[in-house]
């Protein structure tokens, strides 16, 4: 009898410990319904402003002589570059690791850093995708092997050597085959339409000539990573408890800055693809508000702290972190080739990027 009582006590203690460590399955919703509905529209507006501002300024910065427009685009571009970097580390990788090491997850979850492994795997997955995509796109478009690509996604830069040297850019083009010079000449006519304006007094700028197919895939990958993050952010805001007001205020700025970062990449699709730019902007603008609306709709039954939600959000945040880290580092590497011979502009761009990193990292204190 004593053995039975002893076993029963151990069983009760074990159950009690399991309950204390279990992920809460009850919703944290505690009211503020009107504010949650207001947040849908406020975040829609802030997201739209953030992502469409770089797109709009990119269409006016050349035609207008107002330097303010060019300054706005310059800041949005490099500030957004820093935002992507900080989002990956502070807003994605750290929460992912926190989710996948939660006390309620046992076994292998506590024995291996899955968040970092998934993040690394996502980065190398994107790397492999770029390799394969570049190969087949160059094969399909009939690009000569003698030319090499620059810029994100390894796209082909079809410009004449003399034209680039005129702008202070050294080229390493291989010898062209017969007849290729005429094709290159035609491509130079589009140089002015794909420029990235800078504040250089000399007016000489490094040009990024990216094929539309490659750049489209690049934007799709980036937005794919950001949207996953936005979905879980929206759902959380719809059902979160005591932290709702703080999270609401922070997310207004968070979505605006993140939108600016995404918008500066969308601009690289080029003026001739305005429809694609608008669609990408609309997709980003609607994702978080729609997710908030869904969260509000199921506010009494959804718990973002449940075991399933914790694992799913942790895995998706890890994947998104890997995608954004890959994009962030590639943007930094691309920046080395910009503002040739102008150390002042290089440092201004660097400080602007650091400012974006700092602001987004600061927001990570609350969201």
Ranges of each domain in the chain: 35-124+213-363
pLDDT in the model for residue 316: 93
Q: 344: which 2 tokens? A: 């002042």
Report residue 206's pLDDT band, with 50, 70 and 90 as the boundaries: very low
Report residue 140's pLDDT band, with 50, 70 and 90 as the boundaries: confident
Q: CA 18 to CA 23: how far, in whole Å?
A: 10
**Cα–Cα distance list, 190 to 178, 186, 254, 264, 361 (Å):** 22, 8, 36, 20, 38
Report residue 40's pLDDT band, with 50, 70 and 90 as the boundaries: very high
pLDDT in the model for residue 65: 62
Q: Between these two residues, 118 and 1, which has the higher pLDDT value?
A: 118
Q: What is the pLDDT of residues 314-364, one digit of tens each?
A: 999 999 999 999 988 888 888 777 888 888 998 999 999 999 999 999 998
Most trustworthy range by pLDDT among 38-42, 78-82, 176-180, 193-197: 38-42
Report residue 281's pLDDT band, with 50, 70 and 90 as the boundaries: very high
Helices (H), 22-155: 33-60, 67-86, 94-100, 114-141
Long-range contact pairs involving 345-353 (C-beta distance under 8 Å, separation at least 24): 345/198, 345/199, 345/200, 348/199, 349/74, 349/78, 352/74, 352/75, 352/78, 352/79, 352/82, 353/78, 353/79, 353/81, 353/82, 353/85
- When pLDDT is averaged across residues 286-304 and rounded to a whole number, the result is 90
pLDDT in the model for residue 160: 42
DSSP code at position 156:
B
pLDDT in the model for residue 228: 84
């Amino acid at each position: 009898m004593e053995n039975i009582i002893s076993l029963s006590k151990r069983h009760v203690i074990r159950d009690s410990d399991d309950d204390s460590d279990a992920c809460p399955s009850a919703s944290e919703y505690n009211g503020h319904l009107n504010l949650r509905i207001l947040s849908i529209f406020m975040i829609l507006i802030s997201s739209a402003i953030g992502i469409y501002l770089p797109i709009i300024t990119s269409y006016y910065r050349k035609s207008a002589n107002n330097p303010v427009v060019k300054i706005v685009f310059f800041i949005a571009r490099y500030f957004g570059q820093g935002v992507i970097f900080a989002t990956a580390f502070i807003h994605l990788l750290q929460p992912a690791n926190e989710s996948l090491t939660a006390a309620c997850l046992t076994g292998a979850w506590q024995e291996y850093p899955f968040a970092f492994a998934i993040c690394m795997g996502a980065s190398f997955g994107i790397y492999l995708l770029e390799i394969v995509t570049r190969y087949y796109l160059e094969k399909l478009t009939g690009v000569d092997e003698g030319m090499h690509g620059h810029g994100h996604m390894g796209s082909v830069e079809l410009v004449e050597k003399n034209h680039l040297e005129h702008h202070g850019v050294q080229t390493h083009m291989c010898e062209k085959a017969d007849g290729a010079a005429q094709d290159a000449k035609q491509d130079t006519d589009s140089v002015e339409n794909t420029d990235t304006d800078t504040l250089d007094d000399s007016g000489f700028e490094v040009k990024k000539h990216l094929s539309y197919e490659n750049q489209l895939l690049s934007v799709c990958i980036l937005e794919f990573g950001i949207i996953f993050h936005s979905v879980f952010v929206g759902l959380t805001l719809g059902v979160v408890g005591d932290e709702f007001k703080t999270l609401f205020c922070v997310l207004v700025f968070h979505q605006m800055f993140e939108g600016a970062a995404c918008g500066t990449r969308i601009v690289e699709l080029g003026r001739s693809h305005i429809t694609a730019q608008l669609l990408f902007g609309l997709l980003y603008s609607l994702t978080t508000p729609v997710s908030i609306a869904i969260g509000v709709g199921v506010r009494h039954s959804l718990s973002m702290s449940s075991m399933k939600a914790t694992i799913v959000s942790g895995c998706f945040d890890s994947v998104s972190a890997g995608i954004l880290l890959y994009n962030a580092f590639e943007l930094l590497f691309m920046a080395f080739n910009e503002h040739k011979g102008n150390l002042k502009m290089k440092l201004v761009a660097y400080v602007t990027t650091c400012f974006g990193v700092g602001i987004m990292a600061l927001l990570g204190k609350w969201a």
